[in-house]
Structure 1
């Protein structure tokens, strides 16, 4: 925004300080003058000529005092304003650096807590979050580019093979192209869902997380049976407020993730819902291979699939937990991933509660 130049805050503070000093001096001189004019003593009579002499004597002194107070107020106000505004200068410099793209700089203002240091600490916290967000977005862009490039490269290779095949056996090529194209479509739709949830462009309604859990488990029951995984659902009516479609997607992603990353032929998934004071809680827990806390903390990053980048028929597109995290955050909720002692993962989603769903 273009603004017309104006006096600096330091000059304004210096003038304000000088003005208050001048006002205090003027009030003090007025009090002295009133005292001299109204003093009374038995036997003391002040005639008009004497009063005039007092005025002539008092006036130059008053002018000298006021001049001194003006100079003292301006100089003292300028020095004090500079010292008081020094932290603001550091904050402004840091803001300019951040505007130029340098998010690694921190103010780290020393001294005891006051308004300026509170502002500096808040600004440092904001810079740290922005730096982490930018780094996350850069990793996401790089991973998304890689994931989108892979099916395109595979498609090109398949088409080259089909074109150079003298027998023109296109059936197998078409089938593989269909699988690759399906994966590309799934990835694109997941990216669109991730973007839509992050923008919070949805209407909030009353929902029951227990019904979401039941619907998700019923939908994914055939998948669980194919993998030999047992689904167990329990919990009470769990009212929350949000987008029914997005919260169903959140629940479905969690259950799907718990099924495909499980012990083959002997795994179990537990889906529970419960109510805490002011909070609706959804927990999806599964058996599986042991996970370390450090690895578990990275599973919500886009395209992260456990210990490696898995390529299988049920591996998904690597955005399941990333979408869950984004949907939970868009609903002002939290997502917590905790490795189970015996292997597997416990995922807890906490959302702001609502009145009872009827």
Structure 2
């Protein structure tokens, strides 16, 4: 935004300091003048004793010195005000320099303003915190863009290879196999694109909030993936009381489905179990998904939230996903002002817990949200 040039803050403060000093000096001289006039008579005074000045003599003696004093106060106020304003605005100068460096793309710089806590120190600390978060966010987005480009390039490269090597060079080859392989690769590319779009939607928080029951969402996700679990010889167990919260039903269902799907895919070859539990706490509600499986190292578990991370298994299976499952879960949880916690189970497998804010007692009718849904009959689990 282009603005017309104006006076600097330092000059404004200097003029304010000088004006205050001049006003204080003028008031002081006025008080002295009134005090002197009170005891000095008007007109000529004749006396045989010592000379007694009258008001005319007082004016000739006082006014020039008063004017000189005001001139001195003006110069003193301007010089002193300029120095004081410079010292007061020195932290602001450092903050401005850091802001310009950040605007030019350098997010690693910090102000680190010394001294005790005051308004400028709080502003500098808040700016340093903002720079740190921006730097981390930009680094995360850069890693995400690089990983997304790599993941999208892989199916496209496979399709190009199939078309060039098989379709062009081996004309006698059965096209049915080629079509099937192209369909598989294309489906994976579509799934990855949809996951990226869902992740972007969750990060923008562009969704409508409504009253939902997290326990019903957990049941819906479990029923959706029941056939997949049975085909792998796994069992899904759901439990928990009514768990009301506020958010997007579609996004929370996607979050829960991703967690249950992750528990099914990364499980024992057979006779494994996935536990889906919901619970209500004082200020939050919780969704916990646990699964049996291999013993996981805590260091490896902490990286699973990163996009395109699949633990130690980089081999793509028929249901391996695109490596965005937990990243999407984390984004949806953050978009709902919640938290995601991962931890290995002592006997093997993973425990994932999502904490979401519980709706306040006065939420309905005061925040523009629809009233809570009526209780739904639950079938035995």
Tell me which interval the TM-score lies in, with the shorter structure as reference length: over 0.9
**Residue of structure 1 in register with 2:368 after alignment:** none
Match 2:172 to one of 149, 163, 167: 167
Ranges in structure 1 where 5+ consecutive residues have no aligned partner? 40-44
**Residue of structure 1 in register with 2:47 after alignment:** none
**Residue of structure 1 in register with 2:21 after alignment:** 21
Compute the displacement of 1:62 (Å): 1.1
1:43-94: CA deviations, max 9, x gaps? xx73434122122211122112111111111111100111111111111111
**Stretches (4+) displaced over 4 A:** none
The yes-or-no answer on 1:198 pairing with 2:199 is no
Ranges in structure 2 where 5+ consecutive residues have no aligned partner? 45-53, 362-371, 375-381
**Residue of structure 2 in register with 1:295 after alignment:** 300
The yes-or-no answer on 1:96 pairing with 2:96 is no
Aligned length: 353
Match 2:230 to one of 220, 225, 230: 225
Query: Does the aligned pair in 1 maintain the 2:166–2:173 contact within 8 Å?
Result: no
- For residues 1-358 of structure 1, the aligned pairs below 5 Å read 1-39=1-39, 46-49=41-44, 50-159=54-163, 160-354=165-359, 355=361, 357-358=373-374
In structure 2, how many angstroms separate the alpha carbons of the residues matched to 1:66 and 1:308?
83
**Residue of structure 1 in register with 2:49 after alignment:** none
In structure 2, how many angstroms separate the alpha carbons of the residues matched to 1:53 and 1:153?
104
Query: Does the aligned pair in 2 maintain the 1:338–1:346 contact within 8 Å?
Result: yes
1:198-236: CA deviations, max 9, x gaps? 122211111000000010111111111222222121111
TM-score (norm 1): 0.94
Report the aligned-residue RMSD.
1.6
1:126-160: CA deviations, max 9, x gaps? 11111111111111111111111111111122222
In structure 1, how many angstroms separate the alpha carbons of the residues matched to 2:343 and 2:32?
77
